[in-house]
């Protein structure tokens, strides 16, 4: 016997007479979409599976819209997630080459200082990497250069990158790197060097809206404006020919800068960056501070996001409305992944190092797992976030009843642990996303008539025209 999966989300499509014509169904467990007629959907929803046409029934079984009635889907998903992490063949490390950042962003919880990673700590990092690679068989090494502002430690990046590549060549591993930067010092020569000599194939730059909004919150510690320099660097970066480096723009958003996002999208489009960058929107959140108190209401944010998606689509940007299965929500769940700060501190999360609010009276960080100066065999402290995929933990946070859990992964373990609800925007706007994604995918003329009449949220908000 069978049952409807717990992870099916549906949205109705209406004809000219406001009568339901089709139903779009999305399975978050398999990240697949099905378009069903009224009768088929009624059979599915009411458990009358044997009344379905044979081909439809088999397709719904294959893509797990219909599952065995005794199947514990949550348990299977959690086991698949843990098995995925256990069998990973790529080693992921985050390195903070410096404790310095020239910016004074109001929502940042880090304490910056003009201290970089010493030669001694660099040697320890290299040895720690060698030890890790001797413990398990890997196919690749992936490094993330992270902040404070990593480009303030460019010399360290170059030193370590050269050593990392040498080790990978020695062990026949592929090597690649990502950098998360404010972009202020990402000049064309620096970008060329990082891409060509240090194999950085993903660059993430933060722009919090158009100039007046960005500069009001992402200025230097001395109050100097930064947007113009960052944007010039971005244009130069994106016009490097024959480069396959991914460039993503992160917009940190709250009520105070939301009006600056649409003009930014327009500006990026006017400069013909549609095929060169991706854009994503993030709510500001606690970084060991009270920044989350300034965050927008999650439902409001999810509505803004849909508007921005539609604008991006109209300008020709690529928009992925629906997420694929997320078997590892972040690095904290992989016991082999770790962040190493400029002083050799080892952490399992990117948002706890250099944050004074996590320091004990003796100055040590409550989240620090160990130090690179210690022998590799020395047992690290317990990572309090690492048990997040235990079933009792997921139930404690009510993720076990959430239909988007497979594509969300439970969101941020740290936020849950600290008593805040980190549910992503897709939880609140997934039906709108589903309709928008369907418009992109369904090009068959059979569907064009009713697709032109799709509306979002109870037919209150018309969709944009889409050219194929």
Q: Give me the pLDDT at residue 318, please.
A: 92
* Tens digits of residue pLDDT in 164-187: 999 999 999 999 999 999 999 999
When comparing pLDDT for 240 and 6, which is higher? 6
| pLDDT digit string, tens, across residues 402-423 | 999 999 999 999 999 999 999 9
The arithmetic mean of pLDDT across residues 417-434, rounded, is 95
* pLDDT tens readout for residues 261-295: 999 999 999 999 999 999 999 999 888 888 888 88
Both tokens of residue 279?
């854009």
- Among 371, 400, 417, which residue terminates a domain? 371
Q: Is residue 78's pLDDT more than 60?
A: yes
pLDDT higher than 80, residue 456: no
Q: What is the mean pLDDT of the chain?
A: 91
pTM of the model: 0.91
| Three-state SS at 196 | helix
Q: Determine the pLDDT at residue 450.
A: 37
Asked if 169 and 294 sit in the same domain, the reply is yes
- For residue 437, the model assigns a pLDDT of 85
User: What was the pLDDT predicted at 466?
Assistant: 30
321 and 295 in a common domain: yes
Q: Which region among 15-19, 116-120, 334-338, 345-349 has the lowest average model confidence (pLDDT)?
A: 15-19
Q: How far apart are the first and last CA of the chain?
A: 42
Phi, psi (deg, nearest 5) at residue 168 = -65, -40
Angle at 382 between CA 78 and CA 74, to 5 degrees: 10
Paired tokens of 465: 């025209």
- How do strand 140-145 and strand 174-181 relate by DSSP bridges? parallel
Task: Give 309: exposed, middle or buried? Use CB within 10 Å, 0-12, 13-18, 19+.
Answer: buried
**pLDDT score, position 361:** 83
Q: Tell which wins on pLDDT, 106 or 463.
A: 106
| pLDDT tens readout for residues 105-151 | 999 999 999 999 999 999 999 999 999 999 999 999 999 999 899 99
Average pLDDT of the segment spanning 399-404: 96
The domain that holds 92 is classified in CATH as 3.20.20.70
Same-domain check for residues 91 and 57: no
- Any domain includes 41: yes
Tell me: do 155 and 301 sit in the same domain: yes
% of the chain surpassing 90 pLDDT: 83
- 187-201 confidence digits (pLDDT tens): 999 999 999 999 999
**∠418-98-216 over CA atoms, to 5°?**
70
Average pLDDT over residues 45-71: 96
pLDDT attached to residue 454: 34
* 198 and 57 both lie in a single domain: no
Is 394 domain-assigned?
A: no
Q: Is residue 176 domain-shared with residue 38, that is, in the same domain?
A: no
pLDDT score of 241 = 59
* Residue at token pair 């008593």: 419
**Comparing 20-24, 52-56, 241-245, which segment has the lowest mean pLDDT?**
241-245
Domain boundary among the residues 306, 337, 371 is at 371
Residue 389: inside a domain = no
Judge if 159 and 220 occupy the same domain: yes
Q: Tens of pLDDT along 302-321?
A: 999 999 999 999 999 999 89
Same structural domain, 66 and 171: no
What pLDDT is attached to residue 242? 56
In the numeric block, the tokens 């410096």 are attached to: 98
Q: Cα-flanking dihedrals φ and ψ of residue 105, to 5°?
A: -65, 130
148 is a domain residue = yes
Any bridge partners for residue 365, and if so which?
A: 359
Q: In 239-354, which residue ranges form alpha helices assigned H by DSSP? A: 261-270, 298-315
Of 339, 354, 371, the one marking the end of a domain is 371
Beta bridge partners of 204: 180, 248
Number of domains in the chain: 2
Within this chain, do residues 325 and 275 fall inside the same structural domain, yes or no? yes
Q: What is the pLDDT of residue 453?
A: 34
Where would I find the H helices in 72-116? 73-86
Domain range enclosing 244: 83-371
Q: Is residue 255 in a domain?
A: yes
Q: How confident is the model at residue 363 (pLDDT cuts 50, 70, 90)?
A: confident
Which helix (H) or strand (E) segment holds residue 143: the answer is strand 140-145
Is residue 87 a part of any domain in this protein? yes
Kindly state the percentage of the chain with pLDDT values over 70.
Answer: 92
């Amino acid at each position: 016997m069978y049952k409807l999966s717990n992870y099916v989300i549906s949205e109705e499509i209406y004809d000219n007479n406001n009568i339901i014509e089709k139903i779009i169904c999305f399975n978050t467990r398999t990240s697949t979409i099905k378009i069903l007629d009224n009768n088929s959907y009624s059979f599915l929803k009411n458990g009358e599976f044997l009344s379905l046409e044979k081909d439809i029934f088999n397709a719904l079984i294959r893509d797990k819209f219909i599952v065995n009635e005794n199947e514990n889907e949550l348990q299977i998903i959690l086991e698949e997630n843990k098995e995925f992490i256990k069998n990973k063949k790529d080693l992921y490390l985050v390195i903070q080459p410096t404790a310095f950042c020239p910016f004074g962003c109001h929502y940042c919880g880090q304490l910056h200082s003009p201290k970089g990673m010493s030669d001694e700590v660099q040697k320890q990092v290299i040895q720690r990497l060698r030890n890790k690679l001797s413990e398990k068989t890997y196919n690749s090494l992936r490094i993330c250069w992270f902040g404070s502002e990593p480009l303030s430690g460019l010399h360290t990046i170059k030193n370590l990158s050269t050593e990392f590549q040498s080790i990978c060549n020695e062990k026949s591993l592929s090597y690649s790197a990502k950098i998360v930067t404010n972009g202020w010092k990402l000049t064309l020569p620096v970008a060329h060097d990082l891409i060509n000599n240090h194999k950085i194939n993903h660059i993430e730059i933060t722009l919090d809206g158009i100039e007046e909004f960005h500069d009001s919150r992402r200025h230097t510690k001395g109050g100097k404006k930064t947007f113009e320099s960052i944007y010039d660097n971005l244009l130069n970066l994106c016009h490097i020919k024959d480069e396959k480096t991914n460039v993503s723009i992160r917009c940190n958003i709250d009520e105070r800068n939301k009006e600056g996002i649409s003009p930014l999208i327009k500006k990026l489009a006017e400069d013909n960056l549609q095929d060169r960058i991706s854009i994503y929107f993030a709510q500001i959140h606690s970084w060991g501070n009270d920044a989350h108190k300034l965050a927008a209401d999650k439902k409001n944010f999810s509505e803004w996001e849909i508007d921005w998606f539609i604008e991006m689509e109209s300008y020709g940007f690529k928009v992925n409305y629906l997420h694929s299965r997320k078997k590892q929500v972040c690095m904290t769940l992989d016991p082999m992944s770790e962040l190493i700060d400029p002083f050799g501190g080892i952490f399992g999360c990117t948002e706890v190092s250099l944050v004074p609010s996590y320091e004990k009276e003796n100055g040590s960080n409550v989240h620090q797992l160990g130090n690179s100066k210690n022998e590799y065999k020395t047992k690290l402290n317990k990572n309090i976030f690492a048990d997040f995929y235990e079933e009792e933990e997921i139930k404690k946070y009510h993720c076990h009843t959430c239909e988007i859990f497979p594509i969300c992964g439970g969101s941020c373990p740290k936020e849950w642990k600290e008593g805040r609800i980190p549910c992503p925007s897709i939880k609140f706007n997934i039906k709108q996303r589903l309709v928008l994604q369907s418009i992109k995918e369904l090009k068959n003329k059979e569907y064009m008539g009713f697709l032109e009449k799709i509306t979002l949220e109870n037919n209150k908000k018309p969709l944009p025209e889409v050219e194929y």
